[in-house]
Amino acid sequence: MTWLTEQISAVGAWVLNQIVYTGRFGHFSWQVIRKFPASLKRFSIVVQQMMFLGNHSLLIIAVSGFFIGAVLGLQGYDILVTYGSEEALGVLVALALIRELGPVVTALLFAGRAGTSLTAEIGLMRSGEQLSAMEMMGVDPMQRVIAPRFTATMISLPILTMIFNAVGIIGGYVVGVWLIGSDSGAYWSHMQASVDVFSDIGNGVIKSIVFGMIVGLVALFQGYTSRATPEGVSRATTRTVVVSSLLILAFDFIMTAMMFAS
Higher pLDDT, 125 or 153: 153
Domains contained in the chain, number: 1
- Dump pLDDT digits (tens) for 160-197: 999 999 999 999 999 999 999 888 999 999 999 989 98
- The pLDDT score that the predictor gives to residue 21 is 83
Domain-embedded: residue 22: no
Domain-embedded: residue 161: yes
Higher pLDDT, 226 or 251: 251
Domain-embedded: residue 189: yes
Domain-embedded: residue 16: no
206 contact partners, CB below 8 Å, separation of at least 6: 255, 259
Domain-embedded: residue 173: yes
- The pLDDT score that the predictor gives to residue 9 is 79
- The pLDDT score that the predictor gives to residue 64 is 96
Which residue range forms the structural domain that includes residue 214?
A: 35-259
Higher pLDDT, 39 or 219: 219
- Dump pLDDT digits (tens) for 33-48: 998 888 888 888 888 9
Domain-embedded: residue 13: no
**Is the per-residue pLDDT at 16 higher than 60?**
yes
User: What is the three-class DSSP state of 228?
Assistant: coil
Domain-embedded: residue 8: no
Q: Which residues of 170-185 are buried (b: 16+ CB within 10 A; e: fewer)?
A: bbbbebbbeeeebeee
Higher pLDDT, 151 or 13: 151
- Dump pLDDT digits (tens) for 46-86: 889 898 888 878 999 999 999 999 999 999 999 998 888 88
The reported pTM is 0.92
Q: In angstroms, what CA-CA distances link 256 with 104, 149, 163, 204, 209?
A: 11, 27, 21, 10, 14
**Is the per-residue pLDDT at 209 higher than 90?**
yes
- The pLDDT score that the predictor gives to residue 17 is 84
Q: What percent of the chain has pLDDT over 90?
A: 49
Domain-embedded: residue 18: no
- Dump pLDDT digits (tens) for 79-126: 998 888 888 999 999 999 999 999 999 999 999 989 999 999 998 888
Q: Look at residues 252, 247, 261, 237 and name the one whose alpha carbon lies nearest to residue 102.
A: 252
